[in-house]
Amino acid sequence: MRVNVGDLLADRDGVRVLAFAEPLPAAGDDLAFAEPVTGEITLTGTAGGVSLRGQVRAVATCVCGACLKRFGLPLTIDVAEDFGPRSVHTAAAAGSRLGAAGSPSVRGPAGEVRELSAGDFLVPVDADDMIDVTEVIRQHVVLALPIAPRCREDCPGLCPQCGADLNDGPCGCVPDAADPRLNVLRRWRA
Ligand SMILES: [Zn+2]
Ligand SMILES: [Zn+2]
């Protein structure tokens, strides 16, 4: 979903509320999205820029790191991104240099040096006044995903001896001396 925000760039009090409902592409073999990502996005005109705020819901199809089964992980994600017009961004970048203290700084309109603030890292709006809302949401969703997903908090995983899924009940193996990892642990404790 690409949105023309030319009117919001011109009107600092302008507000536009969008219903977002789009499928996201899979992110690698182990992660897909079972259904479209949905939510509500509010675009607000700021002083020469646009602020994007909203909340979306997604169901990520992940692979459990313990039992290797695929499962659906529902997520609710807050989205926040600030866009600035290209000209402001370029001016800040051109004037940027390291300050005396070594911290990043820019030269202000009156030639004064000040430290970089969040405003200097605004995402520029495309030259045609377009914002790619889907890309903003995709980045927030990917960042919200757990690094090591579990199908449930106490997933027992697979039996290290026979490979059975212990979610289906005990496999009958005796988890004793047969597992060399336990021997290592025993030596360490002795
Ligand atoms: Zn699991
Ligand atoms: Zn087993």
DSSP 48: S
The neighbour count for residue 76, using CB atoms within 10 Å, is 10
CA of 2 to the centre of ligand 1 (A): 37
CA of 135 to the centre of ligand 2 (A): 44
CA of 69 to the centre of ligand 1 (A): 6
- List per-residue pLDDT tens for the chain, 190 residues long: 999 999 998 888 899 999 999 998 887 777 888 889 999 999 999 888 899 999 999 999 999 999 999 999 999 999 999 998 755 444 444 444 444 444 556 566 666 666 655 555 677 788 888 999 999 999 999 899 888 899 999 999 999 999 999 999 999 998 665 556 666 666 655 5
What's the longest Cα–Cα distance across the chain? Answer: 78
SS3 content of the chain, % helix, strand, coil (to 5): 25, 35, 40
Contacts 24+ apart (CB under 8 A), 86-90: 86/124, 86/125, 86/126, 86/127, 88/48, 88/49, 88/119, 88/122, 89/120, 89/122, 89/124, 90/124
CA of 174 to the centre of ligand 2 (A): 8
Q: Ion ligand 2 — residues with CB under 5 Å?
A: 159, 161-162, 164, 171, 173
CA of 27 to the centre of ligand 1 (A): 20
